[in-house]
């Protein structure tokens, strides 16, 4: 059963049978708003990029996964590839995480999205991020809508944090700016 999250809402990643999620996928999807031209509406390409940033308990960035580094140092976090247009249905970019293999020093994974091509979120519609249980047959665990136009071109989507022996996900939805996650780091540090 999937939960539709609202900004700031937190959900435990414990399974209903008492177990915990082990392999998850953060999916990002979006559509570009059609632009009005001389001959009617036309498609535009918007290159949104998903990133996963791994932080230790002190808030120090210890690893990152993004279009320029598709795997974490130990391979626990893997980006499936860069979609440069948003074309197609469903998830346009995905990041897989083996929670059992995330280094113990990592306390929080922060998932971000930014417009590499520079368009702001007023040019994007139907944007979402969703957490999927990869080990449980691909069942959607939680979904968070990123839509809502604005002049920002990046957003801190969600964070997955250690809680005792398990994990939890918090929908953040913090608008910010930046063409890559590097530009967003000051805003991210405030979200930890």
Number of domains in the chain: 1
DSSP line for 131-192: EEETTTTTEEEEEEE-----S-SEEEEEEEEEETTEEEEEEEEEEE--SSHHHHHHHHHHH-
CB 24 within 8 A of CB 52: no
Higher local confidence (pLDDT), 17 or 76: 76
pLDDT at 112: 92
| CATH at 152 | 2.60.60.30
**pTM for this predicted structure:** 0.87
pLDDT per position as a tens digit, 124-176? 888 888 889 998 788 888 888 876 667 888 889 999 999 888 899 999 989 99
pLDDT per position as a tens digit, 36-72? 666 655 566 777 889 999 999 999 999 999 999 999 9
Length of the chain measured in residues:
192
- Domain extent, residue 12, equals 3-191
């Amino acid at each position: 059963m999937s939960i539709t999250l609202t900004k700031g809402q937190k959900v435990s990643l414990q399974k209903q049978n008492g177990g915990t999620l082990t392999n998850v996928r953060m999916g990002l999807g979006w559509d570009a708003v059609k632009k009005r031209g001389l001959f009617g509406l036309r498609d535009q390409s918007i290159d949104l990029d998903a990133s996963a940033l791994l932080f230790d308990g002190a808030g120090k960035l210890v690893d990152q996964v993004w279009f320029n580094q598709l795997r974490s140092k130990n391979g626990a976090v893997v980006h499936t590839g860069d979609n440069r247009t948003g074309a197609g249905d469903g998830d346009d970019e995905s990041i897989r995480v083996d929670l059992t293999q995330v280094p113990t020093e990592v306390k929080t994974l922060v998932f971000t999205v930014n417009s590499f091509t520079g368009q702001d979120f007023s040019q994007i519609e139907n944007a979402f991020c969703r957490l999927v249980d990869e080990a449980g047959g691909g069942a959607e665990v939680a979904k968070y809508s990123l839509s809502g136009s604005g002049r920002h071109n990046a957003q801190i989507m969600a964070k997955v944090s250690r809680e005792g022996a398990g994990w939890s996900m918090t929908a953040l939805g913090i608008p910010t700016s930046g063409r890559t996650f590097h530009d967003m780091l000051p805003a991210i540090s405030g979200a930890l």
